[in-house]
Structure 1
């Protein structure tokens, strides 16, 4: 395995019970943060910036998709404005608010994020880590 990848996780997959609705939602919301479709299969779509990291698909076993209690998926973004846009577009695309954009001091002063529940109920987040503030605070 190469040390070239900065991530520790290759990819994640979430299940959906309405593939068309879910992929339309993610097409709209993820483009606000520079993420787009990289691969497509009849019942699976992979999103990413460079390589497939976030999959939306119907469950392989044919059973009903369900939401993981305590599970959420967070996407790094480059600015507070991207967090705000992600949240706003997510709501417009049918998500439920699960935490409006804003600072999350419990996660560290440089942390700014927003939480949504996608149309299937999965918890997703956009997060910005203010590197300038982190350096000033001796955190990076």
Structure 2
């Protein structure tokens, strides 16, 4: 079980806007934000889908004098193929890049529907719908 995922980004404001738009179709919203006065050095934005009392996905500004982490891969569950489509469209419109158009992925499973996008820092995002059994 994963409690949360967090990584540094090169442009906090740009990435916060990107994730607000790209994750909205999945029901994720900005649920918390911390300033350097609170964290001691960086801005932090926490996103969640409202099913828990806390955020499970975080971005943070890179600490002064450092760079954002190497690109990462993060996968999010979707509730339907339409949510996968909406995520991909929102990601592209809000400054991301296509990294795999929405569609069936038979190599994952017979009913799996997936899309990939790159965020403004090149982090690879996957949104995956798996038909309930």
2:59 aligned residue = 56
Residue aligned with 2:47, SS: strand
- TM-score (structure 2 length as normaliser): 0.87
**Which deviates further from its counterpart, 44-53 or 76-85?**
44-53
Rg larger in structure: 1
Residue aligned with 1:45, SS: strand
In 2: Cα distance, 1:57 partner to 1:114 partner: 24
CA apart distance, 1:109: 1.1
- TM-score (structure 1 length as normaliser): 0.83
CA deviation profile, 1:26-52 (whole Å, cap 9, x unmatched): 111111110011110121100012221
1:108 aligned residue = 109
In 2: Cα distance, 1:107 partner to 1:60 partner: 37
CA apart distance, 1:25: 0.5
Show structure 1 runs of 5+ residues with no match.
1-7, 136-140
User: How well do the aligned residues superpose, as a CA RMSD in angstroms?
Assistant: 1.3
Residue aligned with 1:107, SS: coil
CA apart distance, 1:67: 2.4
Residue aligned with 1:29, SS: helix
In 1: Cα distance, 2:27 partner to 2:59 partner: 17
CA deviation profile, 1:82-130 (whole Å, cap 9, x unmatched): 0001001110011110000001111111211100000011001111011
- Structure 1 runs, 4 residues or longer, greater than 6 Å off: none
1:11 aligned residue = 4
> Relative contact order (alpha carbons < 8 A, sep ≥ 6): 1 or 2 greater?
2
